[in-house]
Amino acid sequence: MAEYFEKVVAFGTDSVALERLMRLIQSVCSITVSYGILIPPPLSSATPTVQNTTGELALRELTDILHLTRRAIRLFWCFGSFKSSCDAYGAPGKNIEAWLSILADSLFGLFGFMESITLLDLLKLDKLSIFGFEEAVRIDGQSQSLWLCALTCSLLRYGVNILHNHAKPAVLGAANDDKSADAGEQGESKDASVVAERKQQEGLAKERSRIIWGSRRKALADALDIIIPAWKMGLLKVDLGFVSIAMLFSSILTGYAAWERCG
């Protein structure tokens, strides 16, 4: 119980985990607003003909607050993306996965930078503005194309990673069989080393399975998140409720990754 409590504390004080939790709550509020039947009776308007009920207004306001709060938390995350991109670019022996990672992190950094520079204007503070609210909205809308491209590159990166790791077990298994055969020819004195080698290979296989599962989860989260910028850019004709549901599940997937990291 104490370990679980410590994990909850670590999750609640982690900026990424906190941002994911707020995103989850925001998606639930958006789903509730989109499907008015889900609004609790105390928040519902007494007149069903009124479009903007008291409950809807309250949830919409909460959604906006959560959205801006999340952007404030992510204010300097763009520098982390740029650093990851530079580190990957400086590493030797780059393959297709590495180049996709460089491109994805660079685009995520640019998208985050455009989010950061427009935050002050979107807060609508009197006499405190950089671009103006309308221009900030326009910049924010244009940044969606960067997010879409970044998510696409990230999805491809994890797809390549999954294929690459799926190809490894067969090679390792064949090598293990060869070593076992050689050990049998050399005599029983090599049995202990063969057993140790097999245990090592089993450990590597488990680690590879964990990596594949993590890549699948991240790829699925990216695929769900792609719906959001595609919808905002008008490339996808769906309602807000559908987009919010996709946002809900992607928040759960990425939030679970943060939960595992806090353990």
Can you give the pLDDT at residue 38?
58
The pLDDT profile of the chain, 263 residues, written as one tens digit per residue, is: 778 888 889 999 999 999 999 999 999 999 998 887 556 555 544 555 454 577 788 899 999 999 999 999 999 999 999 999 999 999 998 899 999 999 999 999 999 999 999 999 999 888 888 999 999 999 999 999 999 999 999 999 999 999 988 887 554 444 455 555 454 555 555 667 777 777 777 777 788 888 889 999 999 999 999 999 999 999 999 999 999 999 999 999 999 999 988 87
Distance CA 137, CA 141 (A): 6
The pLDDT of residue 3 is: 83
Closest-CA residue to 28 (of 247, 222, 236, 253): 247
Provide the b/e sequence for 217-226 (b: ≥16 CB within 10 Å).
Answer: bbbbbbbbbb
